[in-house]
Each structure stands twice: as C-alpha cells, then as structure tokens.
Structure 1
C-alpha cells in the first residue's frame, strides 16, 4: 500500500468513525428522547419514518447536485454545517411538528453529505483491491464506523446513567461538530465532480433494459427491502422496550454494542468467508439467521438471551450488507454499478426502512405496554422468512 492509499484509508476511517458514532445516537438514544418528550408509539414511528425518508432522499439529491450544479467540495462543507445547526436547534424544541421538521432537515443534510464520501470510498476500495482473500480498503475503513458506534454507545450510555439523559444530546452534537470540522479538512481531497457520480451512462439503454441482469437485480432489491423492513421494530422500539423491562442506559448500550462487535468480526473475516462460500449462499444464510434473531426476541425476555440474540447482528446486517453490496458489482455492468449501489440504498435502507417503520408503527399503536413490544418481532420474522425464499430463488443463476 502506497502513501496515497494509506492517507485515503485514514481519511475514510475518521469519516466513518464519526458518521457511525452519530448513528449510535440516532438508533439507541433518539427514540428514548422522543419517549421523554411524551410522544406516543405512532408519533415516535412517524418521526423516525420521516427521518428515514429524508435520509433516502438526501443521498440522490446531493449526488445529483454535486454532478450537475454545485462543487462536491462546497456541498460537503455546507451540508455538514447545516446538519449541525439543525440538530443543535432540536434542544430548543419539544413539540411534535418542530422536532419532526428539524430532525428531517438534520438527516437530509447529514445523509447527503455522507453520500458524497460513500460513493467515492466504495469505488476507491474496489479499485485498489488486488487480492480477493484480503480485506479491501473500503471494508477496513468501514470497520472504523463500527468502532465509532461501539465507543459512542458505550461511553454515552455510561455517562447518561451518571449525568442524566440530557447528556446524550450533547454527545450527538459533538459527533456532528467533528464531521463539520472533518469536512473543512478532507473536502480538499474530494474530486469536484467525480466520475462515480455519473447519472448518465454512455449507453442509450435504460437501466433495466438487459434481461440478463434485470431479473436478478430486481430480486436483490426486493430481498434488501424485506430485510430492512424487518429491522424496523429493532431500530424504533428496541431501546424503549429494554427501558420498559428495567434496563439501564449502560445495559441498553451493551446490547447494541454486542451486535456491533459481532458486525466488526464479520467485517474482519468476510474476505475469508467469501473465499469459501458464494455470495448467494451468504445472502441466504443471512436472511435465515435474521429470522431466527427476531424469533428469539419474540419468545424470550431473559436478560442474557436478549444479549446473546444480538450476536446475530453479524448476519442480519453484517453479511447481508456486504454480500448485497458486492453482488451489485457482480451482477451489473461497470457503467451501471454506481447507480445500482444508489438504488440498493434507496430501496433497501431507504424505502424498506420507511415502509417497515410505518407499518410497525401503526401496529405498535395498539400495544398499550412498552414491555410488550416484543410482539412486533413475529412480523419481523415473517418478513425475513420471505426474504430467505427470495434469496433461494436469487441463488438459481439463469442458464446462458
């Protein structure tokens, strides 16, 4: 690895550490913040769903703006600071509409600025990788994102138990301040209008014009949609559910961190796993173990069983995410891979999460006690089971 690649990896590593540190606030602590403000189950789900929608729209909007209208460097700086100021204003509000509006603005700018780096990091990692049995630069950099989540969730959970829930807000603010500062330094290395932001291809064909990859890519998108939809009860109500069971902030952070530590292990070992098994097989196993994870949470309330179930995050997110991203590169021709990655994020993480949160939010409105939120996981298991059957269909490669 030359000096340029080392510098690039370090830059991306710091970026992912801060981005996923803030993600810990979004997933672990923001639902608890909504609960403290007195919002109901449906209101909390609606706020998080609106945030997911803005996250989904933020990525393509910023990428398109960077390609056609504004320098990516300027856009990165302005969007990073905008998300910081929108988040800071949250501390001054308590009404449903003001919290919803500011949360949407914050996540739109935050996800949009992150997308400017994501596209370049994935392509650079794919370009620099020479040995399929070794970890790519993207996987190594993304690993620091998982570490950022673990460090943030652990320290903030511990300090919140000591100093109160208000501390979590200022911890989230510090992550966004770090990202804004990072953008001032790292934006100099960002290409003004990178080729990886190519929304138009050299071919006049539509994106789905080739039947050779249209069917498989469509199934992959549907699998991603279902898997992410199944995560909705986890990302919206898991922290609230554990709090209702009497768990402290530190214990809740521990549960989330076990999942992320398992994810880190997968990121470290994935190159070896991929060398032994097909990506299609890994995708099938991921969907099956995701269903098992949700069934475990549905049937068991025991402290240690719930902690153990978090190990399955290595598969429900780790191997599922990595295999899907790599399958896009395997299925699609080169001039459609970047848009394919964008569609995978939009349909899976975006639309799947949004629809899942809305559906499970309406279901949760009929659950009177937060300690009964585990009932939502039976629906999540059904979504994952359907994803498994589609993964089985996906694994049947078309004959030439």
Structure 2
C-alpha cells in the first residue's frame, strides 16, 4: 500500500497541468482581446480606463474575500469549481448588449469571479504538490504552453473581429470546472482549533517588501496588457490582431525556459539577485517599447517578459507557499495579487486610459520604465538591511 502511494505521488500531475493549460488559454483570449473588443464597439480610451478602474473596485473586494473563503471552506476545490462556473456564465452575458454601462457592469462582474482564480489556483497547486517530487514551476509551465499556443492561433482566427472571444472563454472555463472535479480534494485549514493571527502576515517584512516591489512591476504590466495592444494596432505602430497574437506569443513562450530553470537559479544566486536582475530587465523592456515604433522590432523585445514576470511571480508565490501558515496561504496569495495587481489597476486605470488616449501609450511605457527602475534601486538598498536577504539565504 505504501509502495502504491509513493508511486502515485511520483506520477506527473497531468490533470493539474491540463487545468493550468486551459485556464491560461482562456486568460490569454480575454486579457489580450477584451479591450480591443471594447474599442471595436466604439468605446474611447478614457471609457476603457473607467471600466478598468470600476472593475478593479470589484476585484479589490473579491480577491481577499475569495482567499478567506478558500482558507475556511471544507475543500478548496469547491471554491475553484464555483468560480469556473460563474466565469463561464458571465462570459456569455457579453453578447446581450454593447452599451458602455452594460459592458462596464459585465467586465466588473466577470472580474469578481475570474481574477481571484489565478492566486487560488497557485495556492491549490502548491498544496497539492507539497511532499511530492514535482516542483510548482514544472506544472505551471502548462499554463504558459496554453497561453502561448492560444495567442499565436487566436490572432489569425479572429482577423480583427473580437466577438467570438467570450464564447471561447466560456468553453475553457467549463472544461476547467470538470477537470477540477477529478482532482484530489485539498482541505481548508483555517478552523477554530487551528487559527493563525493575521498579524503574522503583517509582520512578515520580507513578504511586505516583495509585495511592494511587485507593485512597481505590476503597474507597468497592467498598463501594457490593458492599453498597449490598442496602441500597437493604431496608425502610430501599424500592427493588427495577428501581430498582437505573435507579440503575446513571444512574451509567453519566453516563460518556458525560465520556468524550467528558475528553481535552480534561485537556489544558486538567491532571491535578491534574481529579483534585481528581473527588475532591471523589465525596466529595459518598457524603455525599448517607448522608443520602438516598428512591429518587427517590438515583437522580439517582448521575449524579455520571461526573465521579469516569471522571476517575480515564481519567487513570491513559492515564498508564500513555504513561509505563510497553512491556514492563511490562500489569503496570503490573494493579498499579494490584491496589492501588487489590483492596487496598480486602481491607481493607473483612469490615468492610463487618459494618457493612452491623449498622449500615447509610449509615454506610459517610459513612465513604467522609470518606476520599475527606481523600485529596483530601492529594493536593492532595502534588502541589504533585512537579514533574510543576506547573501547565502534562499527564501525560495
């Protein structure tokens, strides 16, 4: 019996791999093309910025709520299944109306159920893989492959017509729900008998520093995903939906080698140096996107995405999974997304939309480059004063 259990634990978790593959395929479609759809039905950059900010208010409330529910519920699988089902249903509601107010409500409602899925999936995967031979990065690579293949193919399929994206998202989320039914149950750990204090999260200085550093990174990343595709397909650059797909493919395919190597990299040089390199490379990426105006040059620049995004996300996600008490891990993951991603959307949704419409997205990329560059310098200085970041200490 013990031999059978060990053999089962040694098997590659193909169902979890498939879950990441399909979820990120759906995310690739929605995140890449939803704002292009909004623009195609007549919404201005300012209106899209308003929708981004309004939907972020919903995400702000939902992220932490679903994290708390996941930690307290009997099984974390049930929360994931609920969110997959709700996301699929709401995606189809986009076909009902194309007015500004309706779309603002639809995007907000969709975001309330869709955006919490990413940190909750990450937390589920980390707990599922605990004490198994497989690393989180080896399974998470399924999401990258799904994202890569989807953005590459979907751009040619759409041909600048974006209405089909919501049906596709609904199909992917429905399949995710059925896969989740087949996965082993992961229990929620937060009970009256086993209840950690939230002060433990607030007192964790390395985690706080990582989340704030991630905020400077996420501001540029959120602007890039929300507005750069619109700029890229404008007359200023001359791109189209097919080239958008190739550009996003270049970004996502660059994650594959990093996900295969990132565990060894952080083991060898530590989290501090890994993040400093990631921040520096990201600053360079945004700076190049400010200067370059030719699709043939812009596309390869996005290969730098793997070094920046993969390093940030892997280190923070695995750090939370290994250092935060079990009964607060889902809350910790959603707190990171709440501050790093959601706050950045609140701060720069309206501002980004205004700048994109009246000054051009290239100006925002310059600002993002300066911001992450300054954040990297501050993180480097600050981390020297935190003993957990001393040389030879590996938090990941």
TM-score range, shorter chain: 0.7 to 0.9
Q: Does 1:387 align with 2:375?
A: yes
- Residues 24-73 of structure 1, C-alpha deviations (whole Å, 9 max, x = no match): 12222111101111111111122233334434443332233345467645
Matching residue of 1:376: 364
Q: Kindly tell me: are residues 185 and 146 of structure 1, through their superposed partners in 2, closer, same or farther at Cα, counting changes over 3 Å? A: closer
| Structure 1 length-normalised TM | 0.85
Matching residue of 1:186: 180
Q: Kindly tell me: are residues 392 and 96 of structure 1, through their superposed partners in 2, closer, same or farther at Cα, counting changes over 3 Å? A: same
Structure 2 CA distance for aligned equivalents of residues 231 and 334 of structure 1: 30
How far apart are 1:123 and its partner, in Å? 2.5
Query: How many pairs were matched up?
Result: 381
How far apart are 1:303 and its partner, in Å? 2.6
How far apart are 1:158 and its partner, in Å? 0.8
Matching residue of 2:391: none
Matching residue of 2:138: 140
Residue correspondence of structure 1 range 234-249 to structure 2 within 5 A: 234-244=224-234, 245-249=237-241
Matching residue of 1:300: 292
Give 3-state SS (helix, strand or coil) of 1:62's partner.
helix
Residue correspondence of structure 1 range 48-59 to structure 2 within 5 A: 48-59=52-63
Q: Does 1:326 align with 2:318?
A: yes
Structure 2 CA distance for aligned equivalents of residues 276 and 253 of structure 1: 35
**Alpha-carbon contact 1:231-1:353 (below 8 Å) kept:** no
Give 3-state SS (helix, strand or coil) of 2:338's partner.
helix
Q: Kindly tell me: are residues 375 and 306 of structure 1, through their superposed partners in 2, closer, same or farther at Cα, counting changes over 3 Å? A: same
How far apart are 1:219 and its partner, in Å? 1.9
Gaps of 5+ in 2: 1-5, 389-396
Residue correspondence of structure 1 range 5-154 to structure 2 within 5 A: 6=11, 9-68=13-72, 72-129=76-133, 136-154=134-152
Q: Kindly tell me: are residues 342 and 160 of structure 1, through their superposed partners in 2, closer, same or farther at Cα, counting changes over 3 Å? A: closer
Q: Does 1:272 align with 2:272?
A: no
Residue correspondence of structure 1 range 283-362 to structure 2 within 5 A: 283-328=275-320, 337-362=329-354
Structure 1 CA distance for aligned equivalents of residues 192 and 25 of structure 2: 30
- Residues 1-20 of structure 1, C-alpha deviations (whole Å, 9 max, x = no match): 7324536x212111111111
* Structure 1 stretch displaced more, 48-57 or 137-146: 48-57
Q: Does 1:223 align with 2:221?
A: no
**Alpha-carbon contact 2:21-2:144 (below 8 Å) kept:** yes
Q: Kindly tell me: are residues 108 and 148 of structure 1, through their superposed partners in 2, closer, same or farther at Cα, counting changes over 3 Å? A: same
Matching residue of 1:132: none
RMSD (CA atoms): 2.8
Gaps of 5+ in 1: 130-135
**Alpha-carbon contact 2:324-2:332 (below 8 Å) kept:** yes
